[in-house]
Amino acid sequence: MKEQQVLQKILSKFPKKKILVVGDFMMDRFIWGKVSRISPEAPVPVVVVDHEDFRLGGAANVVNNIHYLGGKVILCGVVGDDEMGQRIMNELAEKEIETEGIFVEAGRQTTVKTRIFANQQQVVRIDREKTDHMKGSTSRSVSKYLFKKIEDSDGIILSDYGKGLLNRKLIRAIIRKARESRRLVMVDPKFKDYSVYRGATVITPNTKEASEASGIPITDELSLERAGGKLLKRLRCNALVITRGEEGMAIFESHQEPHFVGTVAKEVFDVTGAGDTVIGTMALALAAGANIKRAAELANYAAGIVVGKMGTATATRNELIRVINERP
């Protein structure tokens, strides 16, 4: 069977797979405009706004990617009782994605990342967020819902953006329960102490995160291999996937040589949210029976699609099929 056929067979199983996404739900706001002059008040450009739009971000973008790839998704997260929290709920509902696992906490600021673009280039990013841990009542509601849903899923994604949902105790409990239930757990890490993720199925740090967690400055392929090998041994995960931006990915598995996946992006316009696309695609592929190398290959194709779009973007199942068919 040709490689394209193998990948398409994996893709055909996506609609039957259900992924539980646990993490920090946020809204990405984009303001688009033009610059024609410098402010007389300070040496900064004056951006004349043309239009703005809002897109699901963080864990909500992981959900969005799984949805557009044809998979089923269960959500678990927290938003504030504010306009942006309601907007997230509304957008998910419009896509007919069940929102019962999104808990609204009074007085909490829903995370909003505002990116201002002028002449197609990002000028500045403004973040509004609250990173405190959840209130006790919210935490109990989240835990009760979460542990009821783990066995209903084919796999779990921990989409950690450090905004207060995934604390050490909850992460350890999720991994323990998932292992008992024989469910895969994929982690997009944020904690500097990676021991909290020990025992997860796959962990997907970027180069900077892997360098900090391993204590090895990654400057070339040799230092990358040393850092990846050290983390894999320490974390006892099935695989470690280091995402390398425009250089693709590096996959580390026990008793195997590192495997490198080159980028397939033809043009890179914006890398916002590409990591969300990678982890969502890989989780679906692994749940569909793919090995880690083929899952990473599919995720790489999906990432190549989204970085060719401006703003937080998704790859659809049809787009993924098309790029697979176009491969030499």
Q: Which of 24, 28, 154, 276 is flagged as catalytic?
A: 276
**Percent of the chain clearing pLDDT 70 (strictly above):** 95
* Domain extents in the chain: 3-326
pLDDT at 79 over 90: yes
**Average pLDDT rounded to a whole number, residues 146-152:** 93
The reported pLDDT for the residue numbered 309 is 74
The reported pLDDT for the residue numbered 273 is 66
The 10 Å CB-count burial string (b at 16+, else e) for 174-184 is: bbebbeeeebb
d(CA 285, CA 273): 19
Known catalytic membership, residue 220: no
The reported pLDDT for the residue numbered 51 is 94
d(CA 214, CA 223): 10
Band the pLDDT of 75: cuts 50, 70, 90.
very high
pLDDT at 191 over 80: yes
Q: Which of 160-169, 218-227, 260-269, 312-321 has the lowest mean pLDDT?
A: 260-269
**Average pLDDT rounded to a whole number, residues 95-99:** 93
Query: In terms of DSSP bridges, do strands 72-80 and 18-23 run parallel, antiparallel, or are they unpaired?
Result: parallel
Query: In terms of DSSP bridges, do strands 202-203 and 249-253 run parallel, antiparallel, or are they unpaired?
Result: unpaired
Place of tokens 């740090």: 205
pLDDT at 265 over 80: no
The reported pLDDT for the residue numbered 56 is 94
d(CA 270, CA 246): 11
**C-alpha neighbours within 13 Å on the C-beta side of residue 212:** 11
Band the pLDDT of 6: cuts 50, 70, 90.
confident
Output the average pLDDT for the chain. 90
CATH topology of domain 3-326: UDP-N-acetylmuramoyl-L-alanine:D-glutamate ligase (3.40.1190)
Helix axes 317-326, 3-12, angle to 10 degrees: 170
